[in-house]
Amino acid sequence: MIDARVFDELAETMGKLLPPGVAEMKSDFEHNAKSAIQSALGNLDLVTREEFDVQSEVLRKTREKLELLEARVQALESGSQESGS
């Protein structure tokens, strides 16, 4: 999960970009910007780095097993073709 401070800092940074004449709207803008950012990120299908790393490792192991099974099948098929000739 993304740390809530990231949203606060991003909204504050965006608030600093506002022209001086709208300083009284800065608080509202920061609040709305923070909500919009959280909502946009909430709609994304994100995973944590840890989850990604775990799934990458599962995929790596699965590929290794698949390669071994493919080699076994090929060896079995080669053996049955030789005995059938």
Burial 42-69 (b: 16+ CB within 10 A, else e): eeeeeeeeeeeeeeeeeeeeeeeeeeee
pTM for the predicted model, two decimal places: 0.48
Confidence at residue 75, expressed as pLDDT on a 0 to 100 scale? 93
Average pLDDT of the chain, as a whole number:
83
What phi, psi does 71 have (nearest 5°)?
-65, -40
Confidence at residue 37, expressed as pLDDT on a 0 to 100 scale? 79
Q: Name the DSSP class of 22.
A: G
Confidence at residue 74, expressed as pLDDT on a 0 to 100 scale? 94
Q: Which residues of the chain have pLDDT under 70?
A: 1-4, 23, 83-85
Confidence at residue 53, expressed as pLDDT on a 0 to 100 scale? 96
